[in-house]
A = this chain, B = another copy of it.
């Protein structure tokens, strides 16, 4: 039986593109964070959509599960198989062509296996911007971005991956090709299939290509670091800057003092922009399609207004690209500093922006009560209401031992998120990691509709089983 399907796969993609030896398969089976490895029957690497369709049809006929895989940088174990060894891993990495760029429509048609950084570069060469930007951009693929509706640092202005996609090509669970590669900004002709496949983590079908939205590249981008009293003040500053700058405000990241302490301890060569330690910091990015002078004038007058209105303590505006990169480096080094200091307990939550200050206060208090001295590492995309509310052990205590409290910490944080009407997965998805949490926090009505859709589109249950539901 296993040999039958492997033979069919070899006939479709060629012997060289069906990997079955354990050592070569190993990296395709391993979770990005190294917490987990699954097992698979084979790794199959088709080169085009027709081959993907043929593989899926063969698997459907043989009832063999399929785990679609992109750059495998996901954080919720969504693109690796379970340990049964029954599934084939379908790697899309050979579908990596940029099929077309349409400058007048501001769109680009790309295959699922294109690396995000390559897509950004191709847009740049055409004088435009593909705004999706996230830490894994050098390895993650467009298919994975779409399947997880990836977020990142440009969501405030440009939206999640969902908002950056105008059309999809999908191989459904029956092995049929749906050509939905429309570069249309308006199209009200029936159900939102595109939206359904986006964020479905490969459980409804395999995204093979997409039409992406491009934007005019801004002529100027400026970065500032603003020192703040509190999360509440950060929310007020965000409101002031949005009112004053509109869409020119393209980034707004929150970082607590403890985050920058961590960075300073682990990366002492990075600059420390303020002489004093402040409770919170906002990293602010402003972009202009007009000119550098326009961006400067707007940022300086807005921050001046904020200081005057008492919604900021202090601010530094980067006066060179190097300074701007250094400020962004502070933000980007938080996860690295965490990792260097030892593992901690991570969350990827979202809330209404207005509820962030209250949530942080309540979560900090509840955790202190349960785990006195524990250290919240609070940072994230405040403009989107998205916090990476991570928790480190009390100073001097063992990180490994603290990880033993993960379930209890998750329960405190996620119960509070649910109580505040928030989401337990803002931008990372569900995968295998948060499947039980999803079942706990979603209403039976919502779970019921999700199961009905899964059964309707994948009645054999072969698409990425064990993920989400």
Contact = CB atoms under 8 A, between A and B. Distances in A.
A279 to B, nearest CB: 19
A373 interface: no
Nearest to A166: B352
Contact of A186 (B180, B183, B288, B426): B426
A178 B456 contact: no
Interface in A164-189: 172, 176-180, 182-189
Contact of A445 (B176, B186, B215): B176
A386 to B, nearest CB: 5
A372 B370 CA distance: 82
A126 interface: no
Interface in A192-220: 192-193, 195-196, 198-200, 204, 215-216, 218
A172 B445 CA distance: 9
Given A185-B384, A216-B242, A191 B453 contact: yes
Given A104-B353, A184-B352, A200-B191, A449 B457 contact: yes
Interface in A339-356: 350-355
A148 interface: yes
A323 to B, nearest CB: 24
A186 B155 contact: yes
Contacts of A445: 172, 176-179
A191 B450 contact: yes
A430 B190 CA distance: 7
A221 to B, nearest CB: 12
Given A184-B385, A190-B468, A426-B188, A244 B421 contact: no
Nearest to A158: B247
A442 interface: yes
Contact of A105 (B102, B385, B456): B385
Nearest to A177: B445
A244 to B, nearest CB: 6
A276 interface: no
A78 to B, nearest CB: 10
Nearest to A423: B187
B246 A102 contact: no
Nearest to A244: B289
Given A178-B446, A443-B179, A188 B246 contact: no
A107 interface: yes
Contacts of A79: none
Contacts of A195: 162, 192, 195-196
B456 A452 contact: yes
A188 B425 contact: yes
A198 B193 contact: no
A263 interface: no
9 contacts: A104-B354, A105-B355, A172-B445, A189-B434, A189-B442, A190-B469, A191-B449, A216-B242, A456-B456
Given A105-B352, A185-B350, 4 more contacts: A157-B247, A176-B448, A186-B423, A190-B442
